[in-house]
Amino acid sequence: MSSNYKLNHTDSLGNGDANSLRSNPENAFSDLNSLAQSEKAVEELLIQQTPMQASDDHLIEFSEALRTVAKALRGCAEGKALAQAEAAEWKRRYELERSKNLDLLRQAPLNEEANSMEMDHIAKSPRLHVPENGKSARYALERICAHEVLQDCEPNSPIGSNNKLKRKASFKLSWGCKGQANDQHKKDIVSFESGNITTADRSSKQISLTWETSPQNVLIFTKPKSTSVQVLSVEMVRWLREQKGLNVYVEPRVKAELLSESSSFDFVQTWEDDKEISLLHPKVDLVITLGGDGTVLWAASMFKGPVPPIVPFSMGSLGFMTPFHSEQYRECLEAVLKGPLSITLRHRLQCHIIRDKARHDYETEENMLVLNEVTIDRGITSFLTNLECYCDNSFVTCVQGDGLILSTTSGSTAYSLAAGGSMVHPQVPGILFTPICPHSLSFRPLILPDHVTVRVQVPFNSRSSAWVSFDGKGRKQLEAGDALVCSMAPWPVSTACQVESTNDFLRSIHDGLHWNLRKTQSSDGPRET
Ligand SMILES: NC(=O)c1ccc[n+]([C@@H]2O[C@H](COP(=O)([O-])OP(=O)(O)OC[C@H]3O[C@@H](n4cnc5c(N)ncnc54)[C@H](O)[C@@H]3O)[C@@H](O)[C@H]2O)c1
Ligand SMILES: Nc1ncnc2c1ncn2[C@@H]1O[C@H](COP(=O)(O)OP(=O)(O)OP(=O)(O)O)[C@@H](O)[C@H]1O
């Protein structure tokens, strides 16, 4: 009889048998009463044990039950308080992150204004055209269009040390209308005049870049350790200088290669210190890449802010972002330098890690920008990753598997595709949320809108840490309590198109992946009657 009330054991939160008592406490009391009123039971008890012992037993069991209930309630309250504290802490960090980003964005128009005044004063240059809608797009475009003065910030800087005062080439962007380029700018997408909601111009039209002043400064990135790339770079640098009269910048490694070819390449400019790379953007009108997609990723990673337009030549096995053929480099570059050219505006993600250790002082690790994706995986451990994912502070899901890929739409044809994600046109704004080998039958990839902030956290009860990599590089460990915060960056990467954005994208998936290649069924057979 007494076993009806016995609370054998409880877990750390006081759950277990306590729950059954808590869920139905009245039954427990009424059973006790009926037991006490049962003469037969009392007689039996008197025979088996002394009255003192019996009532002691009941009192002990009853007080045990109460203690367990109290423990369970305390556990619940503590859990709730902890969750609330954690939510508040994350909200604080999120707000800090947001205000930091807003500050950055606010500074942009100021700098732009300052530049503009300086420019107007120096050279009465035409102002760039700025699209009128959405703030983030406006800032992004202002930033990539910025006119800047080529002045050495540090007199001893090797970058452009033989430059006099030069002006960065200016350009304007225009959005095509029904496939035709014109001078229209982006307009509000949704109008709601007279209560009627209608959509007008869409955001992802073909974009055309027109030079307003000729590009003068070209930076070439090359895939290392490739003989064919080295041969082409020698030829291209000479052509750009002798035929086009351009200033050419290359990486220090490439300058050494060129000089070993001939001392006549000493006009080529480079840098010595990695810190000087941050000075590249104001000096470079155009970037050329010679290699595969990896070289485009490498080039983009050199720019921690705005990126000059990139002309990617294909010298790898695939090439989803490299539409130009190296054999025709002269014709291609002639056309690009003259303009106008179609571009694909590829979004990037900005990511940063928040360490649990740095909980009380807003940390700190450098923001990383990715053109393809940021991956959180299990590294060399054999344990499942356990990743809690939030989207703007709403819980999304917990990833248990090999990891998670947060990809741009440009990266949708890379790792995300291999993990089962959809292929998405690179100009569709969005963040792909693709699990890697999830240990669940119902986990499907998601595509989230471009305005959200995604947070991926390793929970404190995780069995192992996780590893983050950025476009397949720069691996960093995430310990329990650490989080990765990721949102759309305001600095896209514009790559020149061979034809136009959609045509290039479709060609790349046909040529690169043999997408949906199937022998055509012959008409020689049964037909619908
Ligand atoms: N299982 C996989 O498919 C897998 C695994 C790891 C990394 N990757 C990809 O490799 C990228 C790094 O490229 P890398 O060249 O520095 O390394 P890499 O030299 O190892 O090349 C990886 C391959 O991915 C291709 N690739 C890169 N970006 C692409 C894109 N946007 N669309 C289609 N294919 C693309 C490259 O052309 C190359 O063939 C990572 O960002 C990741 O997307 C893929
Ligand atoms: N300028 C560079 N400096 C250092 N590393 C680079 C540079 N350019 C490319 N890489 C690296 O070299 C590797 C190979 O580059 P890339 O993908 O362009 O060539 P690939 O592998 O031959 O092309 P594909 O994958 O199409 O066959 C990549 O990991 C990339 O990060």
Residue 259 scores a pLDDT above 90:
yes
pLDDT of 184: 46
Q: Which of 314, 409, 415 to mutate to test the pocket of ligand 1 (most atoms within 8 A of CB)?
A: 415
**What six digits make up the tokens of 451?**
């305005």
**Which residue in the block uniquely carries the two structure tokens 């990753």?**
385
Lowest mean pLDDT of 13-17, 173-177, 391-395, name the range.
13-17
Residue 35 scores a pLDDT above 70:
no
What is residue 198's three-state secondary structure? strand
- Note the ligand closest to the C-alpha atom of 292: 2
Question: Alpha-carbon torsion 302, 306, 307, 308, what sign?
Answer: negative
Beta bridge partners of residue 368, listed in sequence order: 351
Q: Is the CB of 321 under 6 A from ligand 1?
A: yes
Report yes or no on 287 lying in a domain: yes
Same domain membership, residue 370 and residue 399:
yes
Residue 336 scores a pLDDT above 80:
yes
Report yes or no on 437 lying in a domain: yes
pLDDT band at 100 (very low <50, low <70, confident <90, very high): confident
pLDDT of 159: 56
Report yes or no on 307 lying in a domain: yes
pLDDT of 77: 76
Q: What's the one-letter identity of residue 46?
A: L
pLDDT band at 180 (very low <50, low <70, confident <90, very high): low
Sorted by sequence, the CB contacts under 8 Å of residue 131 that are 6+ apart come out as: 137, 138, 141, 173, 175, 185, 186
- Residue ending a domain, among 58, 79, 100, is 79
Report yes or no on 505 lying in a domain: no
Indicate which atom in ligand 1 lies nearest the CA of residue 319: 37
CA distances (Å), 402 to each of 386, 431, 466, in order? 9, 19, 10
Of 103, 266, 273, 293, catalytic: 293
Same domain membership, residue 368 and residue 460:
yes
pLDDT of 8: 36
Crossing angle of helices 51-123 and 135-145, in 10° steps, is 40
Residue 31 scores a pLDDT above 70:
no
Residue 116 scores a pLDDT above 50:
no
pLDDT band at 29 (very low <50, low <70, confident <90, very high): very low
Residue 313 scores a pLDDT above 50:
yes
Instruction: Find the CATH number of the domain harbouring 317.
Output: 3.40.50.10330
Same domain membership, residue 453 and residue 326:
no
Lowest mean pLDDT of 147-156, 259-268, 378-387, name the range.
147-156
Same domain membership, residue 161 and residue 303:
yes
318 C-alpha to center of ligand 1: Å? 10
**Nearest CA residue ID for atom 31, ligand 1:** 411
pLDDT of 21: 32
Span 463-509, pLDDT tens digits: 999 999 999 999 999 999 999 999 999 999 999 999 999 999 999 99
pLDDT of 519: 94
Residue 350 scores a pLDDT above 80:
yes
pLDDT of 369: 98
Span 53-90, pLDDT tens digits: 667 888 888 888 888 888 878 877 777 777 777 777 77
pLDDT band at 362 (very low <50, low <70, confident <90, very high): low
What is residue 210's three-state secondary structure? strand
**Nearest CA residue ID for atom 9, ligand 2:** 295
Contact 489, 307 (CB under 8 A): no
pLDDT of 95: 72
Q: Is the CB of 513 under 6 A from ligand 1?
A: no
pLDDT of 69: 83
pLDDT of 104: 66
293 C-alpha to center of ligand 2: Å? 7
Nearest alpha-carbon partner for 385 in 472, 479, 475, 487? 479
Indicate which atom in ligand 2 lies nearest the CA of residue 314: 26
pLDDT of 361: 56
**What six digits make up the tokens of 115?**
């530049």
Q: How many other CB atoms are there within 10 angstroms of residue 473's CB atom?
A: 12
Helix (H) or strand (E) holding 275: none
Residue 429 scores a pLDDT above 50:
yes
Same domain membership, residue 444 and residue 360:
yes
Same domain membership, residue 430 and residue 309:
no
Contact 445, 435 (CB under 8 A): yes
CA distances (Å), 329 to each of 96, 289, 314, in order? 47, 11, 10
pLDDT of 78: 74
In 392-524, the DSSP E strands lie at: 394-407, 431-438, 446-448, 454-457, 466-470, 473-478, 483-488, 493-496
pLDDT band at 166 (very low <50, low <70, confident <90, very high): low
Indicate which atom in ligand 2 lies nearest the CA of residue 294: 17
Best-predicted range by mean pLDDT among 137-146, 199-208, 418-427?
418-427
Question: Alpha-carbon torsion 386, 389, 395, 401, what sign?
Answer: negative
Instruction: Reply yes or no on whether 293 is catalytic.
Output: yes
**Which residue in the block uniquely carries the two structure tokens 């380029």?**
181
Nearest alpha-carbon partner for 350 in 374, 329, 327, 330? 374
Burial class (CB in 10 A: 0-12, 13-18, 19+), 53: exposed
pLDDT of 99: 73
328 C-alpha to center of ligand 2: Å? 21
The radius of gyration computed from the CA coordinates of the chain, to the nearest angstrom, equals 32
Q: What's the one-letter identity of residue 244?
A: K
Instruction: Find the CATH number of the domain harbouring 389.
Output: 2.60.200.30
Same domain membership, residue 148 and residue 47:
no
Report yes or no on 311 lying in a domain: yes
Contact 448, 428 (CB under 8 A): no
Residue 438 scores a pLDDT above 90:
yes
pLDDT of 281: 87
Sorted by sequence, the CB contacts under 8 Å of residue 84 that are 6+ apart come out as: none
**Which residue in the block uniquely carries the two structure tokens 């003065």?**
149
Helix (H) or strand (E) holding 364: none
pLDDT band at 37 (very low <50, low <70, confident <90, very high): low
Indicate which atom in ligand 2 lies nearest the CA of residue 223: 8
Q: Is the CB of 320 under 6 A from ligand 1?
A: yes
Report yes or no on 511 lying in a domain: no
Q: What CA dihedral angle connects 243, 249, 253 and 258, to 10 degrees?
A: 20
Nearest alpha-carbon partner for 62 in 92, 15, 29, 85? 29
pLDDT band at 16 (very low <50, low <70, confident <90, very high): very low
Same domain membership, residue 336 and residue 364:
no
Taking the chain, what is the end-to-end CA distance rounded to the nearest angstrom?
79
Q: Is the CB of 413 under 6 A from ligand 1?
A: yes
142/187: higher pLDDT: 187
Sorted by sequence, the CB contacts under 8 Å of residue 528 that are 6+ apart come out as: none
pLDDT band at 14 (very low <50, low <70, confident <90, very high): very low
156 C-alpha to center of ligand 1: Å? 38
Q: How many domains does the chain contain in total?
A: 3
pLDDT of 190: 72
466 C-alpha to center of ligand 2: Å? 26
Q: Nearest 5°: CA angle at 195, between 193 and 196?
A: 75
327 C-alpha to center of ligand 2: Å? 19
Same domain membership, residue 180 and residue 323:
yes
**Which residue in the block uniquely carries the two structure tokens 């009806």?**
4
Q: How many helices (H) and strands (E) does the chain have?
A: 11, 24
206/509: higher pLDDT: 509
Residues 396 and 387: their CA atoms lie apart, in Å, by 11
Report yes or no on 528 lying in a domain: no
**Which residue in the block uniquely carries the two structure tokens 């002043």?**
213
- Residue ending a domain, among 64, 79, 94, is 79
Q: Which of 221, 289, 293, 473 to mutate to test the pocket of ligand 1 (most atoms within 8 A of CB)?
A: 293
CA distances (Å), 284 to each of 235, 236, 443, in order? 20, 17, 44
pLDDT of 73: 83
Residue 33 scores a pLDDT above 80:
no
Residue 140 scores a pLDDT above 50:
no
**Nearest CA residue ID for atom 35, ligand 1:** 414
DSSP percent split of the chain into helix, strand, coil, nearest 5: 40, 25, 40
pLDDT of 431: 98
Q: Is the CB of 402 under 6 A from ligand 1?
A: no
pLDDT of 44: 58
pLDDT of 3: 36
Residues 528 and 526: their CA atoms lie apart, in Å, by 7
Nearest alpha-carbon partner for 71 in 82, 63, 60, 83? 63
Its domain, for residue 65, covers 2-79
Same domain membership, residue 473 and residue 449:
yes
Q: Is the CB of 257 under 6 A from ligand 1?
A: no
ipTM of the complex: 0.95
For all residues of the chain together, what is the average pLDDT? Answer: 79
474 C-alpha to center of ligand 2: Å? 15
pLDDT of 160: 46
What is residue 90's three-state secondary structure? helix
- Residue ending a domain, among 287, 316, 346, is 346
pLDDT of 71: 82
Indicate which atom in ligand 2 lies nearest the CA of residue 296: 18
Report yes or no on 529 lying in a domain: no
pLDDT of 6: 34
Which residues sit with their C-beta closer than 6 Å to ligand 2? Answer: 221-224, 251, 291-295, 297-298, 316-319
Lowest mean pLDDT of 160-169, 201-210, 410-419, 428-437, name the range.
160-169
Same domain membership, residue 375 and residue 305:
no
Same domain membership, residue 474 and residue 359:
yes
